[in-house]
Structure 1
Amino acid sequence: MKRENIDQLVKVEYHQTENCPLKDIRFSFFQIVYVISGKGAFTINNNISAYSKGSLILLTPDDQHHLDIEEKTELLLVKFSERYVKDYKWKTINSIGCLLYGASYLSGCILQNKPDVILVESIVSSLLHGINYPDIYQEELTLHYVNALIVIAARNISKMRAEHVGSNTDKRILDIIDYIQGNIHDPALLKVSVISQKFGLSETYLGSYFKNQSGETITHYILNYKLRLIEHRLLFSDMRVNEIVTEFGFSDESHLNKFFKKKHKISLTEFKKNKSAAKSLV
């Protein structure tokens, strides 16, 4: 399968096509796909979902994906590198890379927050205007628009990530989930005692409150979310096991393997070697 890279941190492109421009290609970067017009189906990591005008789809590095186009489709593609996400000085979003990688477990359009629909339409119109009528300082304007899209994508993913958390759920549980996902790489910050102190709750109340709001214990949620990210690294990236150990704060490979085997009953190396079979396990 062909692998495509970008030679800049951010790149914006417009495409009109009747045939999939993304087939049999893996990308080394993030990509926000906005459907200007047309309809069809998107397949991402073997998950199929319909798309239509207004769909906003986030592809993460090394996702396997393609389009099945039913009607001629116009797309705005916003490409940005992992380094851009990591190095940009986001003011209030911790570990945005981990947050964006969560899109790999979501199917189809990530634009679920209705007030954001109008914002995205406006940003897309501005980006298209910049493509068609470039002017002085266009690069700086484009970066601002792209950053806005990234933040909107992160906000929508954040609200979708908890399986049993609905749109009418207490805002505090969403803040707790944001905190967990933003600090998933740092075990010291994920201790129940630390989280309860952070949000001014007793440990006992935090445990019952989280389960009542989300349908699972806070410990189970943390372990499952971390495991999903590790599975993604193994299936859709070229990261070595020792790099994953470092990223998620395990003491060594043995510690990570023990954690991983509790669910999959095989080692990380075995899982990584047989990716095609492993995909049926997740």
Structure 2
Amino acid sequence: MVKENLYQPFEIDFKELKEFPKAMYKNNFFKLIYIVDGTGLQYINQYSFNYRKGNLFLITPQDSYSFVIEDKTKFFFLSFNDIYIRPKTNKDNDWVQRMEYILQNASHRPGCILKNRVDKPLVSVLVEAIYNENNFLQLYHAKIVQQIVNTLILVVARNIALKLPKNIKENTGEPVLDILHYIQQHIFEQEKLKSECIGEAFGISLAYLGRYFKKQTGETLQQYILNYKLRLIETRLLHSDMRINEIANELNFSDESHLHRMFKKHKGLSPSQYRKRNL
């Protein structure tokens, strides 16, 4: 495992490679990787994805990653740490806490993060603008690059937030964000996902917890946990070679048939049919 270091609040690099260094990388900072051109395979944690021009990946501090290049690839790398997105004034504090939450939330969402169709050409323009500013070094280029980087990170946050519960907004109360983070942290620990445990962890009564969570997110607590598990199952079906019984065991279903029934009820296909159709 290779660890890289970050010496500035953010660092930018463009590389054109025929072969990616044969190593897995893991860092203590965030890294955006945009495919300017080329094709190949990205490995992140235990999953693999075909990449192509226009894909954007966010590597969080929890992730390990590498690439296998098929066609010569031009990469854009933007590395930044949580210090970079921390508030400069108390006025900014609430929004930045949401930003940190949103970016950390990406750790369970491997693959291209551009889900909003209108943002794809926008990201292409932003990356090209950074490239041009770095090449021509005109007056105020450093300040302009910083503003473009800020915009790019906001676009990333917006695309990740699209997959959060439907009522989550940038001004959503902090307690529910902490609850969502708790659920994601403990999604593989069935006991800790019980309402009683969540309420106890946050000092919230069982009666109030359900009403509060539904009001803040638009989903019941159990709906959110189920939908989150469904997304994890989809990821494993499409981007890993895990068997159905292994996925069922990991996510604490009583057995493979239990996962099969639940998945088919909500997706209209069995897990094996879903994997076969989408692959």
Counterparts of 1:105 and 1:28, CA distance in 2: 17
Residue 104 of structure 1, aligned match among 103, 107, 127: 107
Q: Which residue of 2 aligns with 1:69?
A: 69
**Secondary structure, counterpart of 1:38 in structure 2:** strand
CA RMSD for the aligned pairs?
3.8
Q: Which residue of 1 aligns with 2:158?
A: 155
Q: 1:189 to 1:18 in 2, by over 3 A?
A: farther
Aligned residue type for 1:181: L
Deviations along 1:115-173, whole A, 9 cap, x unmatched? 111211111111010121112222211111111111111111111245xxxxxxxx5x3
Contact 1:16 1:74 survives alignment (8 Å):
yes
1:175 aligns with 2:169: yes
Aligned residue type for 1:29: F
Q: 1:33 to 1:206 in 2, by over 3 A?
A: same
Residue 94 of structure 1, aligned match among 93, 97, 114: 97
User: Any stretches of 5+ residues in structure 1 without a counterpart?
Assistant: 163-170, 197-201, 229-262, 264-282
Structure 1 residue 193: deviation in Å?
Answer: 8.3
Q: 1:183 to 1:118 in 2, by over 3 A?
A: farther
Structure 1 residue 94: deviation in Å?
Answer: 3.3
Contact 2:99 2:157 survives alignment (8 Å):
yes
- Count how many residue pairs are aligned between Structure 1 and Structure 2: 210
**Secondary structure, counterpart of 1:84 in structure 2:** coil
1:34 aligns with 2:28: no
**Secondary structure, counterpart of 2:142 in structure 1:** helix
Contact 1:42 1:65 survives alignment (8 Å):
yes
Counterparts of 1:66 and 1:54, CA distance in 2: 18
Structure 1 residue 87: deviation in Å?
Answer: 4.0
Counterparts of 2:214 and 2:177, CA distance in 1: 20
Q: Which residue of 1 aligns with 2:264?
A: none
1:12 aligns with 2:12: yes
Counterparts of 1:194 and 1:53, CA distance in 2: 48
Contact 2:2 2:23 survives alignment (8 Å):
no
Counterparts of 1:22 and 1:178, CA distance in 2: 43
Q: Which residue of 2 aligns with 1:117?
A: 120
Structure 1 residue 27: deviation in Å?
Answer: 1.9
Aligned residue type for 1:175: K
Q: Which residue of 1 aligns with 2:245?
A: none
Structure 1 residue 111: deviation in Å?
Answer: 0.2
1:124-139 equivalences under 5 Å are 124-139=127-142
Structure 1 residue 178: deviation in Å?
Answer: 6.0
Deviations along 1:201-227, whole A, 9 cap, x unmatched? x6697499514xxx9445x479x79xx
Contact 1:192 1:203 survives alignment (8 Å):
no
**Secondary structure, counterpart of 1:149 in structure 2:** helix
Structure 1 residue 192: deviation in Å?
Answer: 8.5
Counterparts of 1:74 and 1:66, CA distance in 2: 15
Deviations along 1:4-59, whole A, 9 cap, x unmatched? 11111111110000111483332221111110000111111111111100001001
Counterparts of 1:204 and 1:136, CA distance in 2: 50
Counterparts of 1:32 and 1:150, CA distance in 2: 9
TM-score by length of 1: 0.62
User: Any stretches of 5+ residues in structure 2 without a counterpart?
Assistant: 183-200, 233-251, 253-279
Counterparts of 2:137 and 2:203, CA distance in 1: 45
Deviations along 1:60-91, whole A, 9 cap, x unmatched? 12421100111100011111112112345657
- Once the two structures are aligned, what percentage of the paired residues are identical? 24
